[in-house]
Amino acid sequence: MGERTAAGGGKWVDVAPERLPRWLENFASRHGPYREDGLTLIAADGASAAWQTPPGAGPAATMADLIRLAQAPRRLGLLLARKGAVAAGVAVGTELIVSKVDTHYVQGRTAAGGWSQQRFARRRDNQAKAAAADGAGIAGRILLPEVRGMAALVTGGDRSAVDAVLAPPALKPLLDLRAERFLDVPEPRHAVLVSAIAGARAVSVLVREP
């Protein structure tokens, strides 16, 4: 799955839960036998791999715990928002069981100035507020009824757009379940929502080479 450079050195790697045993085998092949220090692996050549539990999986003390918890099916809420597009859904394991996608037009920015610019900015602000309100309505209809069974809510897209959607007090139960993980996704569509399940379930590991 995805890789990204980590602040302070090394790289973050996202691993599908089903591939964890194979990933560990490959790590040992590349770096030699390793020992476990909690969820951190330290290999013979000095390489390390520090694991994080995925959203909704609960605490894990050992790699065996992590693999078991990560691979167990759990119910995750998904909320993606960018510009005027919002996608909400609930996944159980790898399957999307309920979803809704909606697009609300929001104008792009302009280089014009003066009174015309101010009028444009007001119009754009009103469109963004309407999109956030529509998104909040979708989140309320799709996600709130499932909130008691959800292990976590994973969000993605544009942070300010997601924050605006989740701003109404009625959606506080969703905020309480919001995971730290934030998915970098394009403008939400149904296919994007389906592909986001893998990102929400993935196990992140910080790998540092010797």
pLDDT at 134: 84
- 97 and 180 fall within a common domain: yes
Assign residue 122 a region (left: φ > 0; alpha: ψ between -120 and 50; beta: otherwise). Answer: alpha
Q: Return the ∠ at Cα 130 (arms to 129 and 134), rounded to 5°.
A: 120
DSSP 163-192: HHHT-SGGGHHHHHHEEEEEE--SS--HHH
The full length of the chain comes to 210
Question: How distant, in Å, are the alpha carbons of 59, 144, 177, 183 from that of 82?
Answer: 31, 21, 20, 12
- pLDDT of 135-172, one tens digit each? 899 999 999 999 999 999 999 999 999 999 999 999 99
Give the residue-averaged pLDDT of 188-210: 96
Residues 172 and 105 in one domain: yes
Q: Are 150 and 177 in contact, with CB atoms under 8 Å apart?
A: yes
Residues spanned by the domain of 47: 3-72+202-208
Q: What percent of the chain has pLDDT over 90?
A: 79
Residue 133 has a pLDDT of 77
* Domains: count for the chain: 2
For the stretch 59-68, pLDDT in tens is: 999 999 999 9
One domain, residues 178 and 87? yes
Q: Residue 2 has what pLDDT?
A: 74
What confidence score (pLDDT) does residue 107 get?
Answer: 44
Note the pLDDT of residue 209. 93
pLDDT of residue 115: 47
Residues 47 and 135 in one domain: no
- 92 with 58, same domain: the answer is no
Mean pLDDT of the chain: 90
Give the tens place of pLDDT for each residue, 81-93: 998 899 999 999 9
- Please report, for the domain that includes residue 158, its CATH number: 3.30.420.60
- Percentage of the chain beyond pLDDT 70 is 86
113 has pLDDT over 70: no
